[in-house]
Structure 1
């Protein structure tokens, strides 16, 4: 049994290293959020490799490679904070100077290596750094506190992001919830167990190792199938609510009229519908209609209209009276004017191609 556990730890940590390094390389060439998700997974893979070392008594070997000295838990809250900002704040731009926040990580690893070298060169046995209460606080307690704070802020950002995202999707499925809250939920459970083991001294580290093993395998397969699964879509930044030129209009009332024009009058089924067409239908200024969509729906006009069109296609796919029609015919009836646009928009809003969605329904 112990051998199987050690093998599982080793395989899961190996998969975690491969996935984290691939994310870091991808982030160096593209969206920076990949880098910080990769750094999070790198620390978790290191932790599981350490569990493997304990399991097979690697640490007690005469001359082991002390890979655990290169691990820092401070990476977790710092990387999660940057990952949260990059994925939930449309206006946040990563700058090179932000790398300076990792200075405590470099300082921790550097001092740990120095202390190890000093202890090895000395004839006097030196105590472990963890026996020093200040070091223990800085390297064990502070990262936990940081994770609690960052997770609290991340939860608020995710909830605001969800409200904006739901405005752009006709159906908010369980897959969307998993994509939005999956990583957050995993790290929340992990932080709670971490707190219980370090602060409360509960014997829960076997549970932590099991959780890391299962999740690194799961995240690994998700990463291979869809490397952008936890990379949230880009939402259009909401414009300022200040509207002195439209002060005579009641936003709530006009927003209800706007939604009724699509939900009841079916404006979206008109091919090549324009913002001017909607404004004329509502007898409102074009700029005010644009303001309503951008500010209150957190979207641009095209995404706003296409959301209703996708919803119309999904409704027709579930209607027995429409079963004799092809998916493309339903798309044209719902307002789309080309197959390529329909396929692209449908995948953007549902996370699946039309054929994949139809197969799941069957």
Structure 2
């Protein structure tokens, strides 16, 4: 049985590490939330890899590579905190000075690595770092308390944005997407605290939880590339009209709508506010104000609404039903499948494929 457990731990941790590196790279390039989600998965994947090492007694092998020193529980509290902000706070921005929140984790890793290398180079049997009560408190107790606080705040924000008991019911897939990570982190924190603080023998339960989570979460991500796109829609910022008293809002809004209808500007994938302003020969700031006032949204949200409406019209048009969803999305002005999926879900509350299934059932009843 132990051999099977070791195989499962190795497969799950390997899958988790691959996914974490992919998310970290993606987060460094564009979507910052993925960076912190990747750090969370990296930490728990190394924990499970360490469990594999203990199962097969890898740690006792000669010339062993000490991968476990590159893990620090101190990564979890700030990573969860920042990920929660990106997932629940519109227009949240990660500032450079926030990187100092990860300094304790880097110090922890550096000291562990130095301690291990010193033991190898000198041959001296140095005492384990965890035997030091101060070190144990800083690297074992504080991460639990910090993680509990971050997870608690995450849950509070989720229930504010997506209430479980209210008239705003989320589709099942969206509900799972929004709450699955929180439920996992909450369960992990409770088990973690029970094992470390109350000395309960529950580490096999933690390892099982990590294994199941990494397999299921990775599968969901591979099956749907937009699964990890959790950021809430940004709230439009009001724009003052004080500098443009000479314009008639109703007249200019009619001009703007006419131009979009006749020239289908929204189908241009790289359309900018400046492009529209130049076409109407109006100041860009005034066009932004006009869209905000008349449509209650910023420029990007306004254009994406038109694009989604164009896709929906074609989905309901029998003459267009031979085309794929991706083809319709590109024709409407979206420049990628992931962006289209995310925007469509934001505007309709369901995925494009789910909407297409409903349309198909309506037009082709059994």
What is the TM-score with the length of structure 1 in the denominator? 0.69
Write out per-residue CA displacement over residues 170-195 of structure 1, whole angstroms, 9 at most, x where no aligned residue. x6211111111111111110111111
Q: 1:161 to 1:360 in 2, by over 3 A?
A: farther
Rounded Cα–Cα distance in structure 2 between residues aligned with 1:123 and 1:20: 35
Q: How big is the shift at 1:33?
A: 0.9
Rounded Cα–Cα distance in structure 2 between residues aligned with 1:88 and 1:292: 26
Q: How big is the shift at 1:118?
A: 3.0
Q: How big is the shift at 1:106?
A: 1.1
Residue in structure 2 matching 1:225, options 223, 226, 236: 223
For the aligned residue pairs, the C-alpha RMSD in angstroms reads 3.9
Whether 2:233 is the aligned partner of 1:235: answer yes
Rounded Cα–Cα distance in structure 2 between residues aligned with 1:123 and 1:347: 59
Aligned to 1:10: 10
| Greater Cα offset, 81-90 or 47-56 | 81-90
Q: 1:63 to 1:108 in 2, by over 3 A?
A: same
Q: 1:136 to 1:123 in 2, by over 3 A?
A: same
Number of matched pairs? 293
Q: Point out where structure 1 has 5 or more consecutive residues left out of the alignment.
A: 241-271, 273-286, 314-325, 330-337
Aligned to 1:147: 147
The secondary structure found in structure 2 opposite 1:183 is: helix
Write out per-residue CA displacement over residues 193-223 of structure 1, whole angstroms, 9 at most, x where no aligned residue. 1111111111111111111111101111112
8 Å Cα contact 1:2/1:55 also seen in 2: yes
Q: How big is the shift at 1:98?
A: 2.2
Superposed counterparts of 1:131-210, under 5 Å: 131-162=131-162, 172-210=170-208
Write out per-residue CA displacement over residues 259-294 of structure 1, whole angstroms, 9 at most, x where no aligned residue. xxxxxxxxxxxxx8xxxxxxxxxxxxxx9xx78985
What is the TM-score with the length of structure 2 in the denominator? 0.68
8 Å Cα contact 1:293/1:304 also seen in 2: no
Aligned to 1:214: 212
Residue in structure 1 matching 2:316, options 319, 323, 327: 327
Aligned to 2:126: 126
Rounded Cα–Cα distance in structure 1 between residues aligned with 2:77 and 2:361: 38
Write out per-residue CA displacement over residues 216-236 of structure 1, whole angstroms, 9 at most, x where no aligned residue. 011111121223313224413
The secondary structure found in structure 2 opposite 1:110 is: helix
Rounded Cα–Cα distance in structure 2 between residues aligned with 1:300 and 1:187: 32
Q: How big is the shift at 1:56?
A: 0.6
8 Å Cα contact 1:77/1:147 also seen in 2: yes
Aligned to 1:356: 357
Superposed counterparts of 1:1-362, under 5 Å: 1-122=1-122, 124-162=124-162, 172-237=170-235, 327-328=316-317, 347-348=345-346, 349=348, 350-353=350-353, 354-358=355-359
Rounded Cα–Cα distance in structure 2 between residues aligned with 1:140 and 1:179: 30
8 Å Cα contact 2:221/2:228 also seen in 1: no
